[in-house]
Amino acid sequence: MAIKTKNNEYWFYIDTDSLISVKEKAFVIYNSLNGKILEYYNQPEIFKILQELTLVDNLGVIKLTDKDLKNPIISGFCRDIRENHMGDLIDVLLSAGKPKQMIPKLSIMEGYETPSQKRQTRGNILEYLSRLTLYINDFCEETCHICNGAFKQFPCCTSQRGWHPQSKVHIINKFKHFPNLESSQKTKSSPLVVQSSQNTQLDFDQLKMFLDNLRCTSSWEININGGNIFKYSKFQELIAFLNSFKVNKSFTIHYRNAINHLEEIKQLNCEIHTLIILVHFPLQEPKLHLVIDYLKKEKFVMEYHFIIESETDFQMAEKLVQQYSLQSTQYHAFFNGENFSMFEENVYVGREDIIEAFPSLKEIYTRQFVNPTNFGSLIILPDGRVHANINDPQLGYIHQRSIYDLVYDEMVKGTSWRKPRKNVRPCNSCAFNKLCPPITNYNYVMGKGDLCHIKNECSP
Ligand code: SF4
Ligand code: SF4
């Protein structure tokens, strides 16, 4: 279809609801209103047009001439844009001057960069904290094979063998280097680091002092995890203290530990707070059945989180969900160093996943600056170490640094909250990096930024 024009100059614009992503030889345009994605490869004519459109001064509008539109590549491109409601051509005689568009700009981090601003914003900065996970201890008498690896991939209990910085346990050594573009920080040593042969638990007095500043805000939630949390020596005092904060709480307990503490679970007030029961395979079936049967009698807010390493695990989990009519469930894929095919089939991102996710412009712009998966989250380990992501370097210790300083540092120069996909290889050179979901712990653990089916297909 030829594009008919009366005059010989036209304003060509890309709508502000559409996003342009240009890399050297691949270009992607995404319509955030209808989810359509256009892709072009190795076409210098289109590259030049998109480059001009993205210049700040042009505000997404450039001039094209009849001569330009006689080029079939350019006219075909303009037709694609019009047919997918991403922009249009306007005869220049129809407008008094160059049309102007308001280009969105994210300002999430503005106002926090200088020391004086830091002091002024001290009260507000804690509003950015949304989730605190306390690994209150590392003691557990169970010996699950997932213990050293699962908690680095999703929220899961772990004994000291997993979290300790001197632990020599890695899922698979050749995947341990996450190819981040940013210079990697070394984990700082601390006099409080304990040997991995000891059991460790959070110092209750230090924790109380650390959390006291959070009384002024209620926008965060807290998760209590371990080890076997019931083995924390001051468990009752801890719960009483945490109950003095009017925030949502959740407790993460493996069913193998739950079976020995069913009466204590009843004291956790899980009619209001959330009880998360972890289940991994192979099952100790009689124990799990007893736990489910017992807890079903209570009016608890409950979630069952199944840890999945294979299709067989998934089928067994589904069977349990049906058998017990479990209402609230989550499935966490666990990378064990061998189950690549399960990840390729179920975790890797494809074009259809992006289309289905249908990200809004706000989500896309936010992801350019922060990692929403990590943003707002802090994890405290039994020795008092604080991480924004368990796979990133520590931020400090609760006895050394205030929660204000930790949240501030992570906001302004954070290694986890501010780790967007565009800073990770090979996504930094991929035109899809604005559309793909944020990096996750699977990227860290598998040492691979591109857990996707797209990169190879679209490589020129
Ligand atoms: S129950 Fe949790 S902490 Fe205990 S061994 Fe299993 S995974 Fe580790
Ligand atoms: S995950 Fe794949 S498609 Fe997405 S930005 Fe990275 S390389 Fe590109």
Q: Any idea where the domains of the chain sit in the sequence?
A: 9-94, 130-458
Nearest-angstrom CA–CA distance, 455 and 460: 10
What token pair was written down for 184?
A: 């990697």
Q: At residue 426, does pLDDT exceed 70?
A: yes
Q: Are 136 and 225 in contact (CB under 8 A)?
A: yes
Calculate the CA 94 to chain-centre distance: 47
Nearest-angstrom CA–CA distance, 187 and 195: 16
The owner of tokens 């002091």 is 119
pLDDT for position 94: 85
Q: At residue 1, does pLDDT exceed 70?
A: no
Question: Which residue has a Cα nearest atom 1 of ligand 2?
Answer: 450
What token pair was written down for 230?
A: 């019931």
Relative to beta strand 249-254, strand 274-280 is parallel
Give the residue, 15 or 94, on which the prediction is more confident: 15
Name the closest ligand to CA 437. Answer: 2
How do residues 90-113 score in pLDDT, each as one tens digit?
998 888 888 888 777 666 555 555
What token pair was written down for 191?
A: 């006099």
Q: At residue 438, does pLDDT exceed 90?
A: yes
- Ligand 2 centre from 121 Cα, in Å? 36
pLDDT for position 24: 81
- Ligand 1 centre from 208 Cα, in Å? 26
pLDDT band with cut points at 50, 70 and 90 for residue 120: low
How do residues 141-188 score in pLDDT, each as one tens digit?
999 999 999 999 999 999 966 555 544 434 443 444 455 554 443 333
Q: Which residues partner with 12 through β-bridges? A: 62, 89
- Ligand 2 centre from 178 Cα, in Å? 15
Mean local confidence (pLDDT), 198-203: 88
How do residues 249-303 score in pLDDT, each as one tens digit?
999 999 999 999 999 999 998 889 999 999 999 999 999 999 999 999 999 999 9
Mean local confidence (pLDDT), 56-70: 93
380 lines ligand 1 (CB under 6 A): no
pLDDT for position 102: 78
419 lines ligand 1 (CB under 6 A): no
Best CATH choice for the domain 130-458 from the list 1.10.3470, 3.20.20, 2.60.40, 1.10.10: 3.20.20
Mean local confidence (pLDDT), 212-216: 87
Give the rounded percent of residues in the chain with a pLDDT score beyond 90.
74
Q: Are 376 and 128 in contact (CB under 8 A)?
A: yes
140 lines ligand 1 (CB under 6 A): yes
DSSP state string for 28-48: EEEETTT--EEEEES-HHHHH
Ligand 2 residue neighbourhood (C-beta within 6 Å): 349, 421, 426-427, 430, 432-433, 436, 449-450, 452, 454-455
253 lines ligand 1 (CB under 6 A): no
pTM for the structure as a whole: 0.88
- Ligand 1 centre from 156 Cα, in Å? 8
What token pair was written down for 79?
A: 């037709």
pLDDT band with cut points at 50, 70 and 90 for residue 219: confident
Question: Which residue has a Cα nearest atom 6 of ligand 1?
Answer: 144
Look at 160-164, 400-404, 441-445 and tell me which has the smallest mean pLDDT: 160-164
Question: Which residue has a Cα nearest atom 7 of ligand 1?
Answer: 147
229 lines ligand 1 (CB under 6 A): no
The owner of tokens 């601003």 is 117
